Amino acid sequence: MIPRRSRRLAFAVLVVILLGVALLALVWLRRPSLPASALYDELPIEAELPARLVPVEGNPGWESLPAEEQKRAGTAMTDTARDWLRRHRTEVVAVARAFDVSPVALGGIVAAEETLLVGRMDAVGERLFLTVFRALREQDLERWVADQERAYQREARAGQALERDRVRTPYLWTLGPAQVSFRLAVRIEPQVAATMDRPRRDVKQVLEALTTVPGSLEYAAALLAQSRGAYARIAGLDIGDNPGVLATLYHVGAPTVRARRLAIGQVPHVNFYGAWVNLHAAEVAELLNVPLPAKAEVRASPSAGP
């Protein structure tokens, strides 16, 4: 249990960070408006995939995981995660069908987040994040997002990884049941809107949608579809029926970059997060009342391996 003094200190740090972000955002109020094209990237998530793909089965790379990560992957699913899957099974299945992704992968990442990663400070941070950014006008929020994206691209070209400093970079914070990155949700919104056959959301609407179950699932499913497509088109690999590999890519990000590093015939490796999803795939499928993908059939005991 985290000592009360440490919790208070962490809370105070979050408040200071978010107040600082709010002040920075206000600095841009007098800057000229930016075109909508500066806010979005058209990230492909098309359903059309090449033929003759190499299937990826089981928990590839399990043996290379450190012992502590294997142990973490064997953590029992929390009752909170089970209840969430039962209550939202209809939404999970419907959204997975719309984006042509595995419902076990989609439900599995929410269960993994709830079991392995989400804590009290995440909820506090999300409330503070929303409090600050809901207070901004849409045009001011758009300016802030566009400037943050330019800074992100500039540092990425310089070889710096901003994800390593997420705590101080609210643009990269994750929100909602599926813990989707605010940045990725904004960037992939045009594709999500097209798939769901609805008008495109503005930045503030994306922010609001991220905290809802349907919105969070839509963005998460779109990112899973993007990973599946990247590995199929670039690496010739079929990861669509392997929820653990999909979940790993969802967790670590940059599926296009990672796919380019793979030669045909090689397979990606799961991390603790993806291994957890595969090791609990049968339970997730049962709670969602959907069939278990054949390529997700791994042994329940993490010590046994795939």
pLDDT digits (tens, 9 = 90+) for 138-183: 999 999 999 998 888 888 787 766 665 666 688 888 999 999 999 9
Residue 96 has pLDDT above 60, yes or no: yes
Residue 163 backbone phi and psi in degrees, to 5: -60, -25
The model's pLDDT over 21-49, given as tens digits with 9 standing for 90+, comes to 554 444 444 444 444 444 555 556 666 78
Contacts with 116 (C-beta within 8 Å, 6 or more apart), sequence order: 72, 75, 272, 273, 276
Percentage, residues of the chain above pLDDT 70: 75
CA-to-CA separations, 14 to 5, 121, 124, 161, 184, in angstroms, rounded: 14, 9, 9, 22, 22
- Among 36-50, 109-123, 213-227, whose mean pLDDT is lowest? 36-50
Q: What is the mean pLDDT of residues 181-186?
A: 94
pLDDT in the model for residue 183? 93
Residue 194 has pLDDT above 90, yes or no: yes
The model's pLDDT over 76-93, given as tens digits with 9 standing for 90+, comes to 999 999 999 999 999 999
pLDDT in the model for residue 19? 53
Q: State the pLDDT confidence band at 214, using cuts at 50, 70 and 90.
A: very high
Contacts with 242 (C-beta within 8 Å, 6 or more apart), sequence order: 55, 56, 57, 58, 278, 293, 295, 296
- Among 117-121, 228-232, 255-259, whose mean pLDDT is lowest? 117-121
Highest mean pLDDT: which range of 13-22, 47-56, 63-72, 292-301: 63-72
| Cβ 211 vs Cβ 176: under 8 Å | yes
